Amino acid sequence: MNNFDSSAKQKGFELNIIGYLLELSKKIWLIIIIALVCGMLGGVVGKVTSKETYTSEVAFIVNTLSEDQAVENSAVSAQINITNTFKYILSGRVLMESVREACPGNLSYEFINNSITVQTVNATNAIELFVQTESPDTSYNIAKAVVDVYADVVEDIYPNAQLNVCETPVKATEPEQDRSTLVIATISAVIGILIYCVLVLISFIIKDTIKNSDELSDKLSIPVLGSVQLVTNKNKTDKGLLVADRRTGFSFIETYKAIRTKIESNSAKSGNKVYLVTSACENEGKTTVSTNIALSLAENGKSVLLIDADLRKPSIAKILSLPEQGYGFANVIRQDVPLTEAIKLVKNFNLYVLADRKAVSNPSELLSTKDAEELVRSIRDEFDYIIIDTAPASVVTDASIIAGFADATIFVVREDHSPFARIRMSVEDIDANGAEIVGCVFNAETDSTIKAGKYGGKYGKYGRYGKYGGYGRYGYGYGYGYGSSKEK
Protein backbone atom coordinates (compact mmCIF):
# COMPACT_ATOMS: atom_id res chain seq x y z
CA MET A 1 0.00 0.00 0.00
CA ASN A 2 1.29 3.42 -0.94
CA ASN A 3 1.47 5.97 1.85
CA PHE A 4 1.15 9.54 0.69
CA ASP A 5 0.66 12.90 2.36
CA SER A 6 -2.74 14.14 1.27
CA SER A 7 -2.32 17.58 2.81
CA ALA A 8 -1.54 20.34 0.37
CA LYS A 9 1.92 21.86 0.60
CA GLN A 10 1.94 25.57 -0.12
CA LYS A 11 4.41 27.08 -2.54
CA GLY A 12 4.74 30.67 -3.63
CA PHE A 13 2.04 32.03 -5.89
CA GLU A 14 2.47 30.92 -9.49
CA LEU A 15 0.43 31.99 -12.49
CA ASN A 16 0.46 29.81 -15.55
CA ILE A 17 0.18 32.52 -18.20
CA ILE A 18 -0.03 30.07 -21.10
CA GLY A 19 -2.71 28.08 -19.32
CA TYR A 20 -4.66 31.26 -18.60
CA LEU A 21 -4.44 32.37 -22.24
CA LEU A 22 -5.59 28.95 -23.37
CA GLU A 23 -8.52 29.22 -20.98
CA LEU A 24 -9.42 32.55 -22.58
CA SER A 25 -9.01 31.10 -26.07
CA LYS A 26 -11.67 28.51 -25.23
CA LYS A 27 -14.06 31.37 -24.55
CA ILE A 28 -13.17 33.57 -27.53
CA TRP A 29 -16.70 33.60 -28.92
CA LEU A 30 -18.10 34.53 -25.53
CA ILE A 31 -15.57 37.37 -25.32
CA ILE A 32 -16.62 38.60 -28.77
CA ILE A 33 -20.30 38.47 -27.77
CA ILE A 34 -19.57 40.38 -24.53
CA ALA A 35 -17.67 43.03 -26.51
CA LEU A 36 -20.52 43.42 -29.00
CA VAL A 37 -23.20 43.60 -26.31
CA CYS A 38 -21.27 46.09 -24.17
CA GLY A 39 -20.39 48.15 -27.25
CA MET A 40 -24.02 48.28 -28.34
CA LEU A 41 -25.19 49.27 -24.86
CA GLY A 42 -22.50 51.95 -24.69
CA GLY A 43 -23.52 53.20 -28.14
CA VAL A 44 -27.15 53.46 -27.07
CA VAL A 45 -26.19 55.38 -23.92
CA GLY A 46 -23.94 57.66 -25.96
CA LYS A 47 -26.66 58.29 -28.52
CA VAL A 48 -29.26 59.09 -25.87
CA THR A 49 -27.00 61.37 -23.85
CA SER A 50 -25.26 63.14 -26.75
CA LYS A 51 -26.31 66.68 -27.72
CA GLU A 52 -25.51 68.90 -30.71
CA THR A 53 -23.07 71.69 -29.86
CA TYR A 54 -21.97 74.82 -31.70
CA THR A 55 -18.60 76.53 -31.35
CA SER A 56 -17.44 80.11 -31.82
CA GLU A 57 -13.73 80.93 -31.65
CA VAL A 58 -11.68 84.00 -30.75
CA ALA A 59 -7.92 84.18 -31.42
CA PHE A 60 -5.55 86.58 -29.59
CA ILE A 61 -1.94 87.62 -30.12
CA VAL A 62 0.26 88.75 -27.23
CA ASN A 63 2.74 91.49 -28.04
CA THR A 64 5.23 92.98 -25.56
CA LEU A 65 7.39 94.93 -28.07
CA SER A 66 7.17 98.57 -28.91
CA GLU A 67 7.39 99.61 -32.54
CA ASP A 68 11.08 100.56 -32.35
CA GLN A 69 12.28 97.42 -30.45
CA ALA A 70 14.24 94.77 -32.30
CA VAL A 71 12.85 91.24 -32.30
CA GLU A 72 15.31 89.18 -30.27
CA ASN A 73 15.10 85.60 -29.08
CA SER A 74 14.87 86.69 -25.47
CA ALA A 75 12.02 89.05 -26.28
CA VAL A 76 10.11 86.32 -28.08
CA SER A 77 10.59 83.96 -25.12
CA ALA A 78 9.25 86.65 -22.82
CA GLN A 79 6.17 86.97 -24.99
CA ILE A 80 5.54 83.22 -24.82
CA ASN A 81 5.82 83.27 -21.03
CA ILE A 82 3.43 86.21 -20.76
CA THR A 83 1.06 84.36 -23.08
CA ASN A 84 0.57 81.71 -20.40
CA THR A 85 -0.28 84.44 -17.93
CA PHE A 86 -2.88 85.89 -20.29
CA LYS A 87 -4.32 82.40 -20.73
CA TYR A 88 -4.86 82.30 -16.98
CA ILE A 89 -6.50 85.73 -17.01
CA LEU A 90 -8.83 84.78 -19.87
CA SER A 91 -9.88 81.71 -17.89
CA GLY A 92 -10.31 83.59 -14.62
CA ARG A 93 -13.35 84.54 -12.63
CA VAL A 94 -13.02 88.28 -13.24
CA LEU A 95 -13.33 87.86 -17.00
CA MET A 96 -16.19 85.38 -16.64
CA GLU A 97 -18.18 87.77 -14.44
CA SER A 98 -17.59 90.59 -16.92
CA VAL A 99 -18.76 88.37 -19.77
CA ARG A 100 -21.87 87.39 -17.79
CA GLU A 101 -22.78 91.03 -17.31
CA ALA A 102 -22.17 91.92 -20.96
CA CYS A 103 -23.87 88.87 -22.46
CA PRO A 104 -27.64 88.90 -23.09
CA GLY A 105 -29.88 86.16 -21.80
CA ASN A 106 -29.15 86.18 -18.06
CA LEU A 107 -26.61 83.36 -18.31
CA SER A 108 -25.10 82.04 -15.08
CA TYR A 109 -21.43 82.21 -14.19
CA GLU A 110 -21.21 78.41 -14.06
CA PHE A 111 -22.72 78.09 -17.54
CA ILE A 112 -20.31 80.61 -19.06
CA ASN A 113 -17.33 79.12 -17.23
CA ASN A 114 -18.18 75.60 -18.47
CA SER A 115 -18.69 76.87 -22.02
CA ILE A 116 -15.30 78.59 -22.43
CA THR A 117 -12.04 76.76 -23.12
CA VAL A 118 -8.74 78.66 -23.44
CA GLN A 119 -5.52 77.21 -24.81
CA THR A 120 -2.18 78.50 -26.05
CA VAL A 121 -0.62 77.50 -29.35
CA ASN A 122 2.65 75.73 -28.61
CA ALA A 123 5.84 77.76 -29.04
CA THR A 124 3.90 80.86 -30.14
CA ASN A 125 2.41 83.95 -28.54
CA ALA A 126 -1.08 83.04 -29.76
CA ILE A 127 -4.09 82.21 -27.59
CA GLU A 128 -7.26 80.48 -28.74
CA LEU A 129 -10.56 80.82 -26.90
CA PHE A 130 -13.43 78.48 -27.76
CA VAL A 131 -17.06 78.88 -26.71
CA GLN A 132 -19.17 75.73 -27.06
CA THR A 133 -22.88 75.52 -26.22
CA GLU A 134 -26.00 73.89 -27.59
CA SER A 135 -27.06 77.09 -29.34
CA PRO A 136 -25.14 78.85 -32.13
CA ASP A 137 -26.53 82.22 -30.97
CA THR A 138 -25.46 81.64 -27.37
CA SER A 139 -21.94 80.58 -28.39
CA TYR A 140 -21.58 83.65 -30.61
CA ASN A 141 -22.94 86.05 -27.98
CA ILE A 142 -20.53 84.77 -25.31
CA ALA A 143 -17.55 84.98 -27.70
CA LYS A 144 -18.54 88.50 -28.75
CA ALA A 145 -18.88 89.52 -25.08
CA VAL A 146 -15.32 88.23 -24.44
CA VAL A 147 -14.03 90.49 -27.23
CA ASP A 148 -15.95 93.44 -25.78
CA VAL A 149 -14.73 93.14 -22.17
CA TYR A 150 -11.28 91.51 -22.26
CA ALA A 151 -9.36 94.77 -22.77
CA ASP A 152 -10.69 96.32 -19.56
CA VAL A 153 -9.77 93.19 -17.60
CA VAL A 154 -6.15 92.84 -18.79
CA GLU A 155 -5.06 96.45 -19.34
CA ASP A 156 -3.64 96.89 -15.83
CA ILE A 157 -1.71 93.57 -15.72
CA TYR A 158 1.12 94.33 -18.14
CA PRO A 159 1.34 98.00 -19.10
CA ASN A 160 3.78 97.23 -21.93
CA ALA A 161 1.96 94.12 -23.20
CA GLN A 162 -0.81 94.07 -25.72
CA LEU A 163 -3.46 91.39 -26.19
CA ASN A 164 -4.90 91.88 -29.63
CA VAL A 165 -7.74 90.07 -31.31
CA CYS A 166 -6.53 88.52 -34.55
CA GLU A 167 -9.63 86.47 -35.32
CA THR A 168 -13.08 87.67 -34.40
CA PRO A 169 -15.92 85.25 -33.59
CA VAL A 170 -18.49 84.16 -36.15
CA LYS A 171 -21.78 82.41 -35.65
CA ALA A 172 -21.56 78.63 -36.25
CA THR A 173 -23.80 77.32 -39.02
CA GLU A 174 -23.30 73.59 -38.36
CA PRO A 175 -22.95 71.59 -35.14
CA GLU A 176 -19.66 70.06 -34.09
CA GLN A 177 -19.02 66.50 -35.27
CA ASP A 178 -20.01 64.31 -32.32
CA ARG A 179 -17.80 61.29 -31.82
CA SER A 180 -18.84 60.65 -28.24
CA THR A 181 -21.19 57.81 -29.21
CA LEU A 182 -18.38 55.87 -30.91
CA VAL A 183 -15.98 56.63 -28.07
CA ILE A 184 -18.44 55.49 -25.41
CA ALA A 185 -19.24 52.32 -27.40
CA THR A 186 -15.54 51.50 -27.77
CA ILE A 187 -14.77 52.18 -24.12
CA SER A 188 -17.77 50.09 -23.04
CA ALA A 189 -16.63 47.14 -25.18
CA VAL A 190 -13.08 47.33 -23.80
CA ILE A 191 -14.32 47.59 -20.20
CA GLY A 192 -16.64 44.62 -20.75
CA ILE A 193 -13.76 42.51 -22.08
CA LEU A 194 -11.44 43.55 -19.25
CA ILE A 195 -14.01 42.78 -16.58
CA TYR A 196 -14.65 39.35 -18.06
CA CYS A 197 -10.92 38.61 -18.38
CA VAL A 198 -10.41 39.60 -14.74
CA LEU A 199 -13.26 37.32 -13.66
CA VAL A 200 -11.76 34.45 -15.66
CA LEU A 201 -8.35 35.18 -14.10
CA ILE A 202 -9.80 35.15 -10.58
CA SER A 203 -11.59 31.89 -11.32
CA PHE A 204 -8.40 30.45 -12.84
CA ILE A 205 -6.37 31.38 -9.75
CA ILE A 206 -8.78 30.26 -7.04
CA LYS A 207 -10.00 27.13 -8.82
CA ASP A 208 -8.72 24.17 -6.81
CA THR A 209 -7.10 22.31 -9.68
CA ILE A 210 -3.56 21.19 -10.46
CA LYS A 211 -1.79 23.83 -12.56
CA ASN A 212 1.62 22.18 -13.03
CA SER A 213 3.53 18.97 -12.37
CA ASP A 214 5.45 20.43 -9.40
CA GLU A 215 2.18 21.26 -7.68
CA LEU A 216 0.92 17.74 -8.36
CA SER A 217 4.01 16.15 -6.82
CA ASP A 218 3.92 18.46 -3.80
CA LYS A 219 0.23 18.06 -3.01
CA LEU A 220 0.10 14.28 -3.31
CA SER A 221 3.69 13.39 -2.39
CA ILE A 222 3.57 10.90 -5.27
CA PRO A 223 6.26 10.86 -7.96
CA VAL A 224 5.36 12.24 -11.38
CA LEU A 225 6.26 9.63 -13.99
CA GLY A 226 6.09 12.19 -16.79
CA SER A 227 4.47 15.37 -18.04
CA VAL A 228 2.81 14.92 -21.43
CA GLN A 229 2.71 18.23 -23.26
CA LEU A 230 -0.44 19.60 -24.85
CA VAL A 231 -0.09 18.98 -28.57
CA THR A 232 -1.45 21.51 -31.05
CA ASN A 233 -3.41 20.08 -33.95
CA LYS A 234 -2.29 22.30 -36.82
CA ASN A 235 -3.36 19.85 -39.49
CA LYS A 236 -6.78 19.14 -37.91
CA THR A 237 -6.20 15.40 -38.21
CA ASP A 238 -8.69 12.94 -36.75
CA LYS A 239 -6.06 10.27 -36.04
CA GLY A 240 -5.31 9.29 -32.49
CA LEU A 241 -2.15 10.41 -30.70
CA LEU A 242 -0.12 7.23 -30.55
CA VAL A 243 3.61 6.88 -29.97
CA ALA A 244 3.72 4.48 -32.93
CA ASP A 245 2.98 7.45 -35.20
CA ARG A 246 6.21 9.48 -35.45
CA ARG A 247 4.28 12.54 -36.54
CA THR A 248 3.06 13.04 -32.98
CA GLY A 249 6.41 14.67 -32.29
CA PHE A 250 9.72 13.93 -30.61
CA SER A 251 8.77 15.29 -27.18
CA PHE A 252 5.51 13.32 -27.07
CA ILE A 253 7.25 10.06 -27.92
CA GLU A 254 10.22 10.65 -25.61
CA THR A 255 7.93 11.44 -22.69
CA TYR A 256 6.30 8.03 -22.97
CA LYS A 257 9.71 6.37 -23.28
CA ALA A 258 10.67 8.03 -19.99
CA ILE A 259 7.42 6.82 -18.41
CA ARG A 260 8.12 3.33 -19.75
CA THR A 261 11.59 3.34 -18.18
CA LYS A 262 10.17 4.21 -14.77
CA ILE A 263 7.53 1.50 -15.02
CA GLU A 264 10.13 -1.08 -16.00
CA SER A 265 12.30 0.02 -13.07
CA ASN A 266 9.35 -0.30 -10.69
CA SER A 267 8.51 -3.74 -12.06
CA ALA A 268 12.09 -4.95 -11.69
CA LYS A 269 12.28 -3.83 -8.06
CA SER A 270 8.79 -4.82 -6.88
CA GLY A 271 7.71 -7.58 -9.24
CA ASN A 272 4.63 -5.56 -10.29
CA LYS A 273 3.15 -6.67 -13.62
CA VAL A 274 -0.51 -5.64 -13.58
CA TYR A 275 -0.84 -1.86 -13.79
CA LEU A 276 -4.17 -0.11 -13.39
CA VAL A 277 -4.51 3.25 -15.19
CA THR A 278 -7.23 5.64 -14.03
CA SER A 279 -8.02 9.29 -13.34
CA ALA A 280 -10.27 11.19 -10.98
CA CYS A 281 -12.70 12.57 -13.56
CA GLU A 282 -13.67 12.24 -17.19
CA ASN A 283 -11.75 13.85 -20.07
CA GLU A 284 -8.33 13.62 -18.42
CA GLY A 285 -6.80 11.40 -21.10
CA LYS A 286 -6.39 8.15 -19.15
CA THR A 287 -7.30 5.95 -22.14
CA THR A 288 -4.74 7.65 -24.39
CA VAL A 289 -2.14 7.36 -21.61
CA SER A 290 -2.82 3.67 -20.95
CA THR A 291 -2.72 2.86 -24.68
CA ASN A 292 0.56 4.69 -25.21
CA ILE A 293 2.16 3.10 -22.14
CA ALA A 294 1.24 -0.32 -23.49
CA LEU A 295 2.56 0.58 -26.96
CA SER A 296 5.82 1.92 -25.50
CA LEU A 297 6.39 -1.26 -23.51
CA ALA A 298 5.60 -3.38 -26.56
CA GLU A 299 8.05 -1.36 -28.67
CA ASN A 300 10.73 -2.26 -26.15
CA GLY A 301 10.24 -5.94 -26.89
CA LYS A 302 7.93 -6.74 -23.99
CA SER A 303 4.91 -9.00 -24.13
CA VAL A 304 2.06 -6.66 -23.21
CA LEU A 305 -1.68 -7.15 -22.81
CA LEU A 306 -3.85 -4.04 -22.88
CA ILE A 307 -7.27 -4.53 -21.23
CA ASP A 308 -10.14 -2.10 -21.65
CA ALA A 309 -11.93 -2.46 -18.31
CA ASP A 310 -13.85 0.78 -18.73
CA LEU A 311 -17.00 -1.16 -19.46
CA ARG A 312 -19.15 1.98 -19.36
CA LYS A 313 -17.40 3.84 -22.19
CA PRO A 314 -14.94 1.47 -23.86
CA SER A 315 -12.58 3.40 -26.15
CA ILE A 316 -9.44 1.38 -26.80
CA ALA A 317 -10.98 -0.58 -29.68
CA LYS A 318 -11.76 2.70 -31.43
CA ILE A 319 -8.31 4.18 -30.80
CA LEU A 320 -6.63 1.13 -32.33
CA SER A 321 -9.34 0.67 -35.00
CA LEU A 322 -10.05 -2.91 -34.04
CA PRO A 323 -12.59 -4.77 -36.21
CA GLU A 324 -16.24 -4.24 -35.41
CA GLN A 325 -16.71 -7.92 -34.67
CA GLY A 326 -15.06 -9.40 -31.65
CA TYR A 327 -15.32 -10.07 -27.96
CA GLY A 328 -13.96 -8.21 -24.97
CA PHE A 329 -13.23 -8.32 -21.28
CA ALA A 330 -16.91 -8.48 -20.29
CA ASN A 331 -17.56 -11.45 -22.59
CA VAL A 332 -14.73 -13.43 -21.04
CA ILE A 333 -15.83 -12.62 -17.47
CA ARG A 334 -19.34 -13.81 -18.29
CA GLN A 335 -17.79 -16.86 -19.98
CA ASP A 336 -19.53 -16.12 -23.26
CA VAL A 337 -16.32 -17.02 -25.09
CA PRO A 338 -12.96 -18.45 -24.07
CA LEU A 339 -10.11 -16.02 -23.55
CA THR A 340 -8.32 -17.36 -26.61
CA GLU A 341 -11.07 -16.01 -28.86
CA ALA A 342 -11.30 -12.62 -27.19
CA ILE A 343 -7.64 -11.55 -27.12
CA LYS A 344 -6.40 -9.90 -30.31
CA LEU A 345 -2.83 -9.38 -31.40
CA VAL A 346 -2.27 -6.10 -33.24
CA LYS A 347 0.68 -7.31 -35.28
CA ASN A 348 2.14 -3.98 -36.36
CA PHE A 349 2.15 -2.81 -32.75
CA ASN A 350 3.12 -6.22 -31.40
CA LEU A 351 0.46 -5.61 -28.75
CA TYR A 352 -2.19 -7.94 -27.32
CA VAL A 353 -5.56 -6.32 -26.69
CA LEU A 354 -8.66 -7.39 -24.77
CA ALA A 355 -11.20 -4.70 -25.49
CA ASP A 356 -14.95 -4.28 -25.70
CA ARG A 357 -16.72 -2.09 -28.23
CA LYS A 358 -20.05 -1.80 -26.44
CA ALA A 359 -20.87 -0.72 -22.91
CA VAL A 360 -22.41 -3.19 -20.48
CA SER A 361 -25.33 -2.53 -18.17
CA ASN A 362 -23.81 -3.78 -14.90
CA PRO A 363 -20.07 -3.02 -14.97
CA SER A 364 -19.48 -2.70 -11.22
CA GLU A 365 -21.25 -5.98 -10.47
CA LEU A 366 -19.37 -7.72 -13.27
CA LEU A 367 -15.95 -6.47 -12.13
CA SER A 368 -16.75 -7.41 -8.51
CA THR A 369 -17.11 -11.09 -9.36
CA LYS A 370 -14.45 -13.66 -8.54
CA ASP A 371 -14.33 -14.50 -12.24
CA ALA A 372 -12.90 -11.06 -13.07
CA GLU A 373 -10.19 -11.32 -10.43
CA GLU A 374 -9.34 -14.92 -11.31
CA LEU A 375 -9.17 -14.02 -14.99
CA VAL A 376 -6.48 -11.39 -14.38
CA ARG A 377 -4.58 -13.62 -11.97
CA SER A 378 -4.65 -16.55 -14.39
CA ILE A 379 -2.92 -14.63 -17.16
CA ARG A 380 -0.51 -12.41 -15.22
CA ASP A 381 2.36 -14.85 -15.68
CA GLU A 382 1.70 -15.15 -19.42
CA PHE A 383 2.70 -11.55 -20.11
CA ASP A 384 5.51 -9.25 -19.09
CA TYR A 385 2.99 -6.49 -18.44
CA ILE A 386 -0.79 -6.14 -18.21
CA ILE A 387 -2.12 -2.58 -18.55
CA ILE A 388 -5.75 -2.09 -17.48
CA ASP A 389 -7.70 1.02 -18.45
CA THR A 390 -10.63 1.74 -16.11
CA ALA A 391 -13.41 4.24 -15.55
CA PRO A 392 -12.67 7.48 -13.61
CA ALA A 393 -12.13 6.71 -9.95
CA SER A 394 -14.19 9.54 -8.46
CA VAL A 395 -17.14 8.94 -10.77
CA VAL A 396 -17.77 5.21 -10.20
CA THR A 397 -16.28 2.43 -8.08
CA ASP A 398 -14.89 0.34 -10.96
CA ALA A 399 -11.28 1.46 -10.49
CA SER A 400 -11.38 0.74 -6.75
CA ILE A 401 -12.70 -2.75 -7.44
CA ILE A 402 -9.92 -3.56 -9.91
CA ALA A 403 -7.35 -2.05 -7.54
CA GLY A 404 -8.08 -5.01 -5.28
CA PHE A 405 -6.42 -7.44 -7.71
CA ALA A 406 -4.03 -5.15 -9.64
CA ASP A 407 -0.40 -4.82 -8.55
CA ALA A 408 -0.04 -1.06 -8.98
CA THR A 409 -1.82 2.05 -10.14
CA ILE A 410 -0.81 4.87 -12.48
CA PHE A 411 -2.90 7.96 -11.92
CA VAL A 412 -3.57 10.42 -14.77
CA VAL A 413 -4.12 14.08 -13.88
CA ARG A 414 -4.94 16.61 -16.55
CA GLU A 415 -3.73 20.18 -16.11
CA ASP A 416 -6.32 22.53 -14.59
CA HIS A 417 -9.13 20.01 -14.94
CA SER A 418 -10.24 18.10 -11.86
CA PRO A 419 -10.68 19.62 -8.38
CA PHE A 420 -7.86 18.55 -6.10
CA ALA A 421 -10.35 17.31 -3.52
CA ARG A 422 -11.63 14.72 -6.01
CA ILE A 423 -8.10 13.73 -7.01
CA ARG A 424 -7.11 13.22 -3.38
CA MET A 425 -10.29 11.26 -2.65
CA SER A 426 -9.66 8.99 -5.63
CA VAL A 427 -6.03 8.40 -4.71
CA GLU A 428 -6.99 7.57 -1.11
CA ASP A 429 -9.67 5.20 -2.35
CA ILE A 430 -7.28 3.37 -4.68
CA ASP A 431 -4.61 3.27 -1.99
CA ALA A 432 -7.06 1.82 0.53
CA ASN A 433 -7.87 -1.04 -1.84
CA GLY A 434 -4.29 -2.24 -1.93
CA ALA A 435 -2.87 -1.24 -5.33
CA GLU A 436 0.44 0.55 -4.93
CA ILE A 437 0.31 3.99 -6.57
CA VAL A 438 3.62 4.08 -8.42
CA GLY A 439 3.14 7.59 -9.79
CA CYS A 440 1.13 10.09 -11.77
CA VAL A 441 1.15 11.15 -15.39
CA PHE A 442 0.53 14.88 -15.72
CA ASN A 443 -1.40 15.24 -18.94
CA ALA A 444 -1.92 18.09 -21.44
CA GLU A 445 0.63 20.37 -19.79
CA THR A 446 0.78 23.87 -21.29
CA ASP A 447 3.35 25.63 -19.10
CA SER A 448 6.47 24.53 -20.94
CA THR A 449 8.91 25.82 -23.51
CA ILE A 450 9.09 22.35 -25.09
CA LYS A 451 6.82 21.84 -28.07
CA ALA A 452 5.42 18.35 -28.11
CA GLY A 453 4.74 18.02 -31.81
CA LYS A 454 2.24 19.23 -34.36
CA TYR A 455 -0.59 16.71 -34.19
CA GLY A 456 -3.36 16.26 -31.73
CA GLY A 457 -4.96 19.04 -29.78
CA LYS A 458 -6.81 18.36 -26.55
CA TYR A 459 -6.03 14.76 -26.73
CA GLY A 460 -7.30 12.01 -24.58
CA LYS A 461 -10.90 13.17 -24.18
CA TYR A 462 -12.76 10.46 -22.37
CA GLY A 463 -15.12 8.53 -24.61
CA ARG A 464 -14.47 10.64 -27.74
CA TYR A 465 -12.52 8.40 -30.06
CA GLY A 466 -15.30 7.55 -32.45
CA LYS A 467 -13.48 9.15 -35.39
CA TYR A 468 -10.18 7.44 -34.92
CA GLY A 469 -10.34 5.14 -37.89
CA GLY A 470 -7.04 6.08 -39.42
CA TYR A 471 -5.18 2.95 -38.38
CA GLY A 472 -7.19 0.40 -40.31
CA ARG A 473 -4.13 -0.48 -42.35
CA TYR A 474 -2.55 -2.32 -39.44
CA GLY A 475 -2.77 -6.11 -39.47
CA TYR A 476 -4.39 -8.10 -36.70
CA GLY A 477 -3.80 -11.62 -35.54
CA TYR A 478 -5.97 -13.65 -33.23
CA GLY A 479 -4.71 -16.09 -30.73
CA TYR A 480 -3.22 -16.72 -27.38
CA GLY A 481 0.46 -16.78 -28.16
CA TYR A 482 1.59 -15.14 -24.97
CA GLY A 483 5.13 -16.39 -25.13
CA SER A 484 6.12 -14.85 -28.45
CA SER A 485 6.56 -11.12 -28.18
CA LYS A 486 8.02 -11.08 -31.70
CA GLU A 487 5.06 -12.71 -33.38
CA LYS A 488 3.86 -10.88 -36.51
Work out the pLDDT band at 465, boundaries 50, 70, 90: very low
- The answer on pLDDT for 468 being more than 50 is no
| Residue 118 sits in the same domain as residue 184 | no
Residue 352 covered by a domain: yes
Q: Is residue 236's pLDDT more than 70?
A: no
Strands 408-414 and 351-354: unpaired
> What's the whole-number mean pLDDT along residues 451-460?
36
Residues 30 and 117 both lie in one domain: no
| CATH at 96 | 3.30.70.1130
What pLDDT digit, counting tens, does each position of 77-134 carry? Answer: 666 777 888 888 888 898 899 999 998 888 999 999 999 999 998 878 899 999 999 8
Q: Are residues 439 and 451 in the same domain?
A: yes
Percent of the chain residues past pLDDT 70, beyond the cut = 82
Residue 247: the pLDDT is 79
What total number of domains does the chain contain? 3
Q: What is the span of the domain harbouring residue 98?
A: 54-167
For residues 96 and 207, which has the higher predicted lDDT (pLDDT)? 96
Does 143 map to a domain? yes
Same domain, 73 and 83: yes
pLDDT band of 232, cuts 50, 70, 90: low
486 within some domain: no
- Residues 205 and 216 placed together within one structural domain of the fold: no
Give the C-alpha separation, 200 to 172, whole Å.
Answer: 50
Mean pLDDT of all residues belonging to the chain:
82
- Highest mean pLDDT among 173-177, 238-242, 370-374 belongs to 370-374
Q: What is the pLDDT of residues 417-454, one digit of tens each?
A: 888 889 999 999 998 888 889 999 999 887 654 433 33
Q: Which of 80-94, 150-164, 345-359, 425-439 has the lowest mean pLDDT?
A: 150-164
pLDDT > 60? residue 227: yes
Residue 405's contacts (CB-CB under 8 Å, 6 or more residues apart) are 274, 372, 373, 376, 377
Residue 289 lies in a domain: yes
Final residue in a domain of this structure, among 167, 187, 220: 167
428 and 334 assigned to the same domain: yes
- At residue 386, the pLDDT reads 97
With respect to residue 161, please indicate whether it lies within any of the assigned structural domains.
Answer: yes
Say if 433 falls within a structural domain: yes
Of 167, 196, 229, which closes a domain? 167
The residue out of 167, 198, 229 marking a domain boundary is: 167
Residue 488 lies in a domain: no
Instruction: Give the dihedral sign, CA 149/152/155/156.
Output: negative
Q: Let me know whether 345 and 400 are in one domain.
A: yes
- Residue 203 falls within a domain, yes or no? yes
Residues 247 and 189 in one domain: no
Tell whether 341 and 260 lie within a shared domain: yes
Least confident range of 200-214, 368-382, 396-410, 421-435: 200-214
Average pLDDT over residues 215-237: 76
Residues 25 and 115 in one domain: no
- 393 with 307, same domain: the answer is yes
Residue pair 478/344 in contact by the 8 Å Cβ criterion: yes
User: Do both 338 and 466 map to the same domain?
Assistant: yes
- For residue 468, what is the domain's CATH number? 3.40.50.300
Section 235-263 average pLDDT: 80
What's residue 459's pLDDT? 35
Lowest mean pLDDT among 57-66, 385-394, 408-417: 57-66
Query: What's the pLDDT score for residue 157?
Result: 66
